[in-house]
Amino acid sequence: MSRPRLLSILLLLTLVASAASAQEHFRGDRAFEYARQFVAIGPRWCLSPGHAKAEAFLRAQFRQDNLEEDAFTANTAIGPVPMRNFIVRFPGTKPGIIVLATHYETNYPLRNINFVGANDGGSTTGLLIEMASELRAKMTAGKLDGESVWLVFFDGEEAFQSWQGEDHTYGSRHLAAKWAQDGTLPRIRAFLLTDMLGDKDLDIMQDTTSTQWLSSLVGQAARITGYARYFYKQQGAEGDDHDPFLQRGVPAVDIIDADYGPHTMATPDGWHHTAEDTMDKISARSLTIAGDVLLESIHLLNQRP
């Protein structure tokens, strides 16, 4: 075989291998597109027309799946408010359950500033919708090879008046109590909460309230996938939808990028909870990183005894 022909064959094999490797990554581009469509609904605070459209959007994504709509009325700081959690179940061959969760509504106090929550709720909603595509592709004879994976979209994470007390995390507190009563909680091996993971400048904080071994496992998944530089440079404590599960003894971790945008006098908390939380601030690349690490975390959890 001539040298030029050999080089051409080697180049072709390299390109094929590179293409195959690229296909192995989580499709952050698809997650971004789902997020874009979802955020295009506009503000989706509880009681708003946008909230009803957000519910319909989620319902449409999971028509082919085992979807439960967990409707309830929360006694909030502004009075009774109807809410709805969405739970999508992908059964596995092992008895345990791995929960991946996000919240999907926007902040009620910001209802008059066109707050669309592209990163805060929108990005991880898109992330978990695309995660469903990954899980469907991995199923054989209607089951995953390993533990069941449940995707949960929480309502009512945002406060209505104040983050002091219990004027927030309504959906997660309701579902944790419900699952404690019906016997689901002891079956949950791990609860992984995703929050604000679309940030272009991805910097995932190590939440000090999370279960230590599970937080370490996510860090291990980041190292294995080559994304350690995006994880755990900062530490802090976040009040979030993982808290009600931690309080009931479920291993839980908050995977969150809480440092979002420049901190100025005008925006002391960056773009978080401002009208600047828009699609141009998030990226498909960040969602690819988050998706790859979640998939590797599931793999590592299935290897644990």
9 within some domain: no
pLDDT digits (tens, 9 = 90+) for 259-272: 999 999 888 999 99
Give the domain extent around 120.
Answer: 26-303
102 within some domain: yes
Query: How many domains are there within the chain?
Result: 1
Instruction: Quote the CA–CA distance of 48 and 54 in Å, as a whole number.
Output: 10
Predicted pLDDT of residue 165: 80
| CA proximity to 258, closest of 275, 273, 276 | 273
162 vs 70 pLDDT, higher one:
70
Predicted pLDDT of residue 9: 45
Q: Work out the angle at residue 199's Cα, subtended by the Cα atoms of residues 193 and 205, and round it to the nearest 5 degrees.
A: 50
| CA proximity to 226, closest of 139, 285, 158 | 285
pLDDT digits (tens, 9 = 90+) for 168-181: 999 999 999 999 99
Mean of pLDDT values over 219-244: 97
112 vs 24 pLDDT, higher one:
112
| CA proximity to 45, closest of 34, 35, 54, 36 | 54
pTM: 0.92
Per-position DSSP letters for 136-163, written without gaps between them: HHH-BTTBEEEEEEEEEEES--S-SS-S
15 within some domain: no
Average pLDDT, the chain: 93
pLDDT tier, 5 (very low <50, low <70, confident <90, very high otherwise): low
3 within some domain: no
The fraction of the chain above a pLDDT of 90, given in percent, is 89
Mean of pLDDT values over 18-46: 86
Helices (H), 227-283: 243-246
Residues 6+ apart with CB under 8 A from 293: 218, 221, 222, 225, 227, 231, 255
**Hey, how many other C-beta atoms are within 10 angstroms of the C-beta on 282?**
27
1 within some domain: no
Predicted pLDDT of residue 129: 98
210 within some domain: yes
Predicted pLDDT of residue 81: 98
11 within some domain: no
242 within some domain: yes
Predicted pLDDT of residue 3: 55
**CATH code, 153:** 3.40.630.10
